[in-house]
Amino acid sequence: MSMTDQTNITDQEIKDTFKRDGYVVVKDIIADHDLEPIRDHIKTKVDEYACEQYAEGNISSLYETESFVRRYAVICEELSTSPRGWMGNTYGREFYDLYNLPSVLHVLGIIHGPEISNIGGPALRTKLPGSIITSFPWHQDSQYIDQSTIGKKERHTEDLQMVTVWVPLVEATVENGCCWVIPGSHHWGLLDGARDQDNNVRMEKDVETRGNPVPIPLKPGGALFMSNLCVHTSKLNTTNGCRWSIDFRYFPTSDRSDLIPKQKQAAEFVRDKVRRGGREPLVVLTSGHKPTWEEWDTANRKLQLASRG
C-alpha cells in the first residue's frame, strides 16, 4: 500500500514516501486541542448564519441541538442551497497558530527544506451531503494556483515545489468524500486542464487510465501532505452530515537562496498573487526573523488598507 500511515513513521520514511508518491499521510501529529479553535470558528459562523436566516424567515428553526456535522447540513437542506465555498472569513489567530504547528513544520522541513512561507489563507471545506459542486474533479493544485480565468490555461508553478496540508476536522471516510490520490502522478509534470464555468478545473485526459487511484480515509489528528503536482480528487459525500476539513499551502519563500531563476520567478508569482488578494504570505520556517501573530496581523491590515486606497 503506497499510503504511509504509521503513527511512528520515521523522518526518512516521510522523505522517501513523499519523493516516490507525491504525498505522505502522517497520523496523530495534531492534537485535538489544536483543531478545536478551528471548529469553534465554524460553530460561531454557522450559528450567526442560522440566526440571520431565521430572523429573515428563511428557515423554521435555529437547529441548535443538531451536531457539529449535521447543523450546517440541515440549514442548507431547508434553504435548498449547496454553496461551493465557505461563507465565513478564514483569518485570525487560530489560523496563524495552525500554520505554525511545530509537528506540521517538522514534516515540511523534511520534504520541503528551509525558508518556507504559508500563502496566508486556508481553504475551509464544507462538503455538504450530495453536493456535486464540492465533489472536485481530478486536478493538481498548481492548476488552481496558476489559473484564475475560466477557460484560460496558464503555467507558473510547475517547477516550484509547493505542499498542501489537508487536515480533517471530522473523520474523513470514503462515504463522506475523503480525498483520493494517484500515487506517483507528481512525476507527470503539470497536466493540461482549465477552469470550467463552475470554477472547478477539468483535466483534458482521463488520468485514471494512467495510474491507480487510492482513497485516503483519515481521522482528526492526521494530515495529508501533498505535492502541488499530485493528481487528486474529492468524491461525493453520501452521508447526511458535513465532512469538515481544512487545507493550507506552503511555498519556498521568494528570496530563498537555493532557487534557480525559474523557481524564483514562480515563487514571486505566488507571493504577488497572495498580496493582490489582500494577504501577506507568512514566513513559517526561516533562519532569519519569523513574524509574530501581531506583526503578521499588522502587515495584513496595512496591505488591506493600501488595496482600498
The count of domains in the chain is 1
pLDDT at position 309 over 80: no
Residue 190 neighbours by CB distance under 10 Å: 18
For residue 257, what are the domain limits?
11-33+88-308
Domain presence at residue 100: yes
Cα separation, 119 vs 91, in Å, equals 12
Domain presence at residue 119: yes
Helix axes 102-112, 11-21, angle to 10 degrees: 60
Alpha helix locations (H) across the chain?
11-21, 32-55, 71-79, 93-99, 102-112, 141-146, 261-276, 293-308
pTM value? 0.95
pLDDT at position 209 over 60: yes
Domain presence at residue 57: no
Mean pLDDT score of the chain, rounded to an integer?
A: 94
Domain presence at residue 92: yes
CATH number at residue 246: 2.60.120.620
Domain presence at residue 153: yes
Domain presence at residue 145: yes
Cα within 13 Å of Cα(26), Cβ side:
24
pLDDT at position 112 over 60: yes
The residue type of 240 is: N
Cα separation, 125 vs 122, in Å, equals 9
Domain presence at residue 266: yes
Cα separation, 250 vs 109, in Å, equals 11
- Model confidence over 250-302: pLDDT tens digits? 999 999 989 999 999 999 999 999 999 999 999 999 999 999 999 999 999 99
First to last CA, the chain: 54
| Residue in 133, 145, 147, 35 with CA at minimum distance from that of residue 85 | 133
Domain presence at residue 46: no
